[in-house]
């Protein structure tokens, strides 16, 4: 990305830097692509277990798919509609599209190199990805029979000529462009969809050809040969065109605009609107054409023209398209090529055989997943379902696992005649269908289900259990940065707080009342709630830090989060830096602030950790003149979180747990010099390295080895 010069011109009136200067901000889209570059570095890192390296490459592919479906499609619409409102960095839609193409092309070159390296390393470890043409005769014959009996019946060749309209190419489907040669006639083209929605992408075949198995069914995990589904199809493609000569086949893939337009006035209710929007998503306009590097220009032009895409949106890749499917390689039973497993921590008094309500009534708890076990929360809901004194259970659900133990526990609670309410966010992008299914299942069991809020996404992660105790009622409240998802809780690093504090419980109950009914409450003591109070409360905390620093010195702000792009908050952090407040940022993903600019952000430092677990926790720290403030919860500091979502942060009330969060979590990550990358003033990221005389420190490995320490701090 071209770095714009940072203006240091002063205002004639106040002699302060111009904090609206576009040169002070990093473009959101370029920041996202730099995140994918950092993820790719993990795939290129030979110190990583081999199959984990392949996992990181698959994540890169998945991320890039979503980037084009959501971000590029939106910018393309802005360009075509002549949108004049520019982001803080000042880049127009056309400028952004040009920069995105440059960055993506550089990424794809590195993807190609990475794929080549990984395939070679897999071969050295007894996992050979083989082209069909390189197999022996027995293997080829076996694959031909397998193709004819299983795959051939599912294939439909679609001709492309005057009497056959250009076929619809579904989003992210894998296809073969087939070149037909018929004597002296001009070349003709056909499209064959590779049925990777029916069959797995990878098959293993024994040397004698007697066994052909999907990767998931493979029992022997050494000295195996793997073939790609599209290679099997391509090698036998002539069966679809008898009597004709197939000149060549070339894989290609199309990405479509996946934004859902929700038309409530036409649908009548939110669920119907979401379902109709999901149908429209399938037919979104193409925004990217991916082609195999071997595809000739003539063939490429034919498909690009019919998809109404210019060359700016066509990308060549020398490797398998749809690299997200390489997740399937993680199914290979090779512990020596994967991260070592560990046992997730459960405090003794919160183990399944104990009365969890008795334990929580005595003290608050903070959890840090995946080092802590999410099973504690599952067990808590299960106990609530059985407990005759529990009156109600309320929760918000954003992304739910397929075989959800949380849903199972909520359904059990309904069987026990508990009052159960669940806000199921139907607008969770790419999880809409799954959430609709769970919403129906909960409704059928008698759970009071709310589908979300019409104009906002409910992104908060809150749970409340109301229990009859001692002649009154007691609230058991849970506020988290992570979803109620037992699967992601094993790979996402999230923070959560569990308390029976009555004041907090009352405020959480009021948030639920606003979600399920009507409420305009905007004053909270313990909670920060978007879009009502959260942004202003964060700004107030920054302004307070500046004021106290001017008075006492020692100003310190530390923010650990996923995204920081809100212009107003960035300007406030710049002002804090100018005032001398130390600002330390640990931002996993999108970040528009530029650290280290003399006179503006020289007191700002920023790192990003990409490692075994997805850093997903939000921890906000303000030294507050010695009366330290710590906030945890679901919200990032991005416009979508602050204006267009229901988010909840909690002011941690327990001094003991504040200390635990600061010392055993936040400071641990801020000390990482092994998996951390540091952001430079020009917007580039570099690997952090230990200072002279210091050992490398991997924060995630440290937390695995020391999991549970935050439960012991006094």
The answer to whether 642 touches 534, Cβ cutoff 8 Å, is yes
Structure tokens at 509: 């109950």
Query: What are the residue ranges of helices labelled H in 215-330?
Result: 229-235, 264-267, 270-281, 297-306
DSSP string across 525-538: SSEEEETTTHHHHH
In this predicted structure, the answer to whether residue 544 has a pLDDT above a threshold of 80 is: yes
The pLDDT value recorded for residue 11 is 39
In this predicted structure, the answer to whether residue 690 has a pLDDT above a threshold of 90 is: no
Termini Cα distance of the chain:
48
pTM value is: 0.93
The answer to whether 652 touches 659, Cβ cutoff 8 Å, is no
In this predicted structure, the answer to whether residue 262 has a pLDDT above a threshold of 70 is: no
pLDDT band at 182 (very low <50, low <70, confident <90, very high): confident
Counting every residue written for the chain, the total comes to: 714
The pLDDT value recorded for residue 216 is 82
Residue whose tokens read 């397929």: 402
CA distances from 355 to 170, 212, 358, 362 (A): 52, 51, 5, 12
CA distances from 546 to 16, 439, 583, 621 (A): 16, 46, 11, 14
**Cα gap 194→185, rounded to integer Å:** 27
The pLDDT value recorded for residue 15 is 64
**Cα gap 467→84, rounded to integer Å:** 54
The pLDDT value recorded for residue 578 is 98
> What's the mean pLDDT in 608-636?
97
pLDDT in tens, 278-295: 777 778 999 999 999 999
Peptide bond before 3: cis, by omega within 30 degrees of 0? no
pLDDT in tens, 114-166: 999 999 999 999 999 999 999 999 999 999 999 999 999 999 999 987 668 88
User: How many Cβ atoms from other residues are within 10 Å of residue 338's Cβ?
Assistant: 15
Helix (H, G, I), strand (E, B) or coil at 39: helix
Residue whose tokens read 């195999």: 292
The pLDDT value recorded for residue 428 is 84
The pLDDT value recorded for residue 714 is 59
Environment class of 657 (CB within 10 Å of its CB; exposed 0-12, middle 13-18, buried 19+): buried
> What's the mean pLDDT in 41-59?
96
- Residues that are catalytic: 459
The pLDDT value recorded for residue 79 is 92
**Cα gap 92→95, rounded to integer Å:** 5
pLDDT in tens, 578-590: 999 999 999 999 9
pLDDT in tens, 357-379: 999 999 999 999 999 999 999 99
Mean predicted lDDT score pLDDT of the chain: 92
In this predicted structure, the answer to whether residue 4 has a pLDDT above a threshold of 50 is: no
> What's the mean pLDDT in 384-398?
97
Provide, rounded to the nearest whole percent, the portion of the chain with pLDDT above 90.
83
Q: Which of 58-67, 207-216, 403-412, 473-482 has the lowest mean pLDDT?
A: 207-216
Environment class of 153 (CB within 10 Å of its CB; exposed 0-12, middle 13-18, buried 19+): exposed
The answer to whether 186 touches 242, Cβ cutoff 8 Å, is no
> What's the mean pLDDT in 158-176?
88
Structure tokens at 101: 């193409």
In this predicted structure, the answer to whether residue 713 has a pLDDT above a threshold of 50 is: yes
pLDDT in tens, 347-357: 999 999 999 99
Peptide bond before 531: cis, by omega within 30 degrees of 0? yes
> What's the mean pLDDT in 48-54?
97
DSSP string across 118-182: HHHHHHHTTEEE--GGGS-HHHHHHHHHHIIIIIGGG---EEEBTTBPPPP--TT-EEEEEEEE-
The pLDDT value recorded for residue 268 is 54
The answer to whether 464 touches 508, Cβ cutoff 8 Å, is yes
The answer to whether 368 touches 345, Cβ cutoff 8 Å, is no
Residue whose tokens read 């921590």: 345
Q: Which of 655, 344, 282 is nearest to 493 (CA)?
A: 344
The distance between the two most distant Cα atoms of the chain, rounded to a whole number of Å, is: 93
> What's the mean pLDDT in 685-713?
91
The pLDDT value recorded for residue 9 is 39
The pLDDT value recorded for residue 383 is 97
Query: What are the residue ranges of helices labelled H in 294-404?
Result: 297-306, 356-362, 375-386
The pLDDT value recorded for residue 3 is 33
- DSSP 8-state code for residue 663: I
In this predicted structure, the answer to whether residue 440 has a pLDDT above a threshold of 50 is: yes
pLDDT band at 5 (very low <50, low <70, confident <90, very high): very low
Q: Which of 59, 67, 72 is nearest to 329 (CA)?
A: 59
In this predicted structure, the answer to whether residue 559 has a pLDDT above a threshold of 90 is: yes
pLDDT band at 8 (very low <50, low <70, confident <90, very high): very low
Q: Which of 496, 635, 466 is nearest to 566 (CA)?
A: 635
pLDDT in tens, 184-206: 777 889 999 999 999 999 999 99
pLDDT in tens, 499-528: 999 999 999 999 999 988 876 777 899 999
> What's the mean pLDDT in 557-570?
98
The pLDDT value recorded for residue 693 is 79
At 444, give phi and psi (nearest 5°). Answer: -65, -25
pLDDT in tens, 566-575: 999 999 999 9
The pLDDT value recorded for residue 185 is 74
Q: Which of 405, 484, 418 is nearest to 447 (CA)?
A: 418
The answer to whether 118 touches 57, Cβ cutoff 8 Å, is yes
The pLDDT value recorded for residue 712 is 87
Structure tokens at 112: 């190609």
Higher-confidence position of 516 and 315:
315
- DSSP 8-state code for residue 666: I
Structure tokens at 230: 């599209």
Partnered with residue 419 across adjacent β-strands are: 392
Helix (H, G, I), strand (E, B) or coil at 590: coil
Structure tokens at 530: 């978007």
Q: Which of 182-196, 314-328, 487-501 has the lowest mean pLDDT?
A: 182-196
In this predicted structure, the answer to whether residue 695 has a pLDDT above a threshold of 60 is: yes
The pLDDT value recorded for residue 548 is 98
**Cα gap 492→355, rounded to integer Å:** 28
pLDDT in tens, 62-106: 999 999 999 999 999 999 998 777 899 999 999 999 999 999 999
In this predicted structure, the answer to whether residue 260 has a pLDDT above a threshold of 90 is: no
**Cα gap 368→493, rounded to integer Å:** 7
Structure tokens at 351: 């183990």
Q: Which residues fall within 8 angstroms of residue 28, CB to CB, at 6 or more apart?
A: 87, 89, 565, 590, 592
């Amino acid at each position: 990305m071209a770095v714009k010069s940072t203006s240091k011109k002063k205002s004639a009136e106040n002699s302060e830097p111009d904090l609206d200067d576009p040169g002070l901000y990093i473009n959101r889209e370029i920041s996202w692509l730099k995140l994918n570059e950092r993820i790719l570095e993990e795939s290129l890192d030979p110190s990583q277990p081999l199959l984990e390296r392949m996992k990181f490459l698959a994540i890169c592919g998945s991320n890039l798919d979503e980037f084009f479906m959501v971000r590029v499609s939106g910018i393309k619409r802005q360009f075509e509609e002549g949108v004049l409102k520019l982001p803080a960095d000042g880049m127009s839609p056309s400028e952004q599209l040009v920069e995105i193409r440059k960055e993506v092309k550089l990424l794809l070159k590195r993807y190609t190199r990475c794929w080549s390296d990984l395939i070679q390393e897999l071969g050295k470890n007894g996992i050979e990805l083989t082209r069909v043409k390189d197999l022996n005769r027995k293997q080829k014959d076996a694959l031909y029979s397998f193709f004819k009996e299983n795959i051939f019946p599912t294939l439909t060749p679609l001709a492309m000529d005057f009497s056959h309209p250009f076929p619809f190419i579904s989003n992210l489907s894998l296809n073969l462009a087939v070149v037909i040669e018929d004597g002296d006639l001009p070349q003709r083209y056909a499209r064959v969809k590779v049925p990777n929605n029916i069959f797995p992408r990878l098959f293993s075949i024994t040397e004698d050809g007697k066994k052909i198995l999907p990767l998931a069914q493979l029992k022997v995990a050494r000295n195996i040969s793997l073939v790609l589904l599209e290679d099997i199809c391509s090698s036998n493609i002539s069966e679809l065109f008898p009597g004709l000569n197939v000149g060549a086949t070339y894989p290609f893939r199309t990405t479509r605009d996946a934004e859902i337009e929700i038309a409530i006035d036409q649908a009548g209710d939110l669920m119907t609107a979401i379902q109709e929007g999901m149908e429209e998503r399938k037919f979104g306009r193409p925004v990217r054409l991916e082609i195999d590097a071997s595809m000739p220009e003539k063939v490429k032009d034919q498909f690009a023209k019919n998809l109404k895409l210019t060359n700016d949106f066509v990308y060549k890749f020398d490797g398998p398209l749809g690299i997200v499917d390489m997740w399937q390689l993680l199914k290979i039973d090779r512990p020596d090529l994967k991260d070592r497993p560990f046992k997730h921590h459960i405090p003794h008094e919160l183990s399944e055989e104990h009365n969890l309500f008795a334990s929580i009534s005595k003290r608050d708890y903070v959890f840090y997943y995946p080092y802590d076990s999410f099973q504690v929360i599952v067990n808590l809901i299960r106990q609530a379902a059985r407990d005759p004194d529990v009156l109600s259970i309320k929760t918000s659900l954003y992304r739910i696992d397929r075989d959800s133990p949380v849903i199972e526990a909520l359904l059990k609670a309904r069987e026990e005649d508990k009052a159960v309410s669940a806000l199921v966010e139907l607008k969770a992008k790419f999880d809409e269908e799954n959430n609709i299914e769970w919403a129906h299942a909960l409704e059928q069991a008698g759970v009071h289900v709310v589908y979300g809020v019409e104009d906002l996404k409910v992104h908060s992660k809150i749970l409340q259990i109301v229990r009859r105790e001692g002649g009154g009622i007691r609230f058991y409240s849970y506020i988290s940065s992570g979803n109620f998802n037992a699967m992601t809780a094993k790979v996402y690093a999230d923070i959560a707080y569990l308390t029976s504090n009555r004041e907090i419980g009352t405020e959480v109950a009021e948030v639920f009342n606003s979600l399920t009914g009507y409420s305009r409450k905007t004053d909270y003591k313990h909670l920060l709630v978007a879009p009502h109070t959260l942004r202003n409360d964060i700004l107030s905390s920054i302004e307070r830090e500046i004021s106290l620093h001017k008075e006492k010195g020692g100003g310190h702000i530390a923010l650990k989060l996923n995204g920081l792009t809100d212009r107003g908050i960035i300007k406030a952090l710049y002002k804090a830096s100018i005032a001398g407040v130390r600002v330390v940022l640990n931002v996993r993903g999108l970040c528009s602030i530029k650290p280290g600019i003399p006179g503006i952000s020289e007191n700002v430092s920023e790192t990003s950790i990409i490692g075994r677990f997805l850093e997903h926790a939000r921890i906000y720290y303000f030294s507050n003149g010695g009366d330290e403030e710590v906030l945890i919860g679901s919200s990032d500091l991005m416009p979508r979180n602050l204006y267009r979502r229901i988010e909840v942060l909690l002011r941690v009330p327990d001094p003991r747990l504040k200390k635990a969060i600061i010392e055993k979590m936040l400071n641990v990550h801020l000390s990482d010099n092994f998996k951390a990358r540091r952001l430079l003033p020009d917007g580039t990221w570099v690997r952090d390295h230990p200072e002279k005389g210091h050992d490398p420190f991997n924060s995630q490995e440290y937390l695995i080895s020391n999991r549970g320490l935050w439960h012991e701090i006094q």
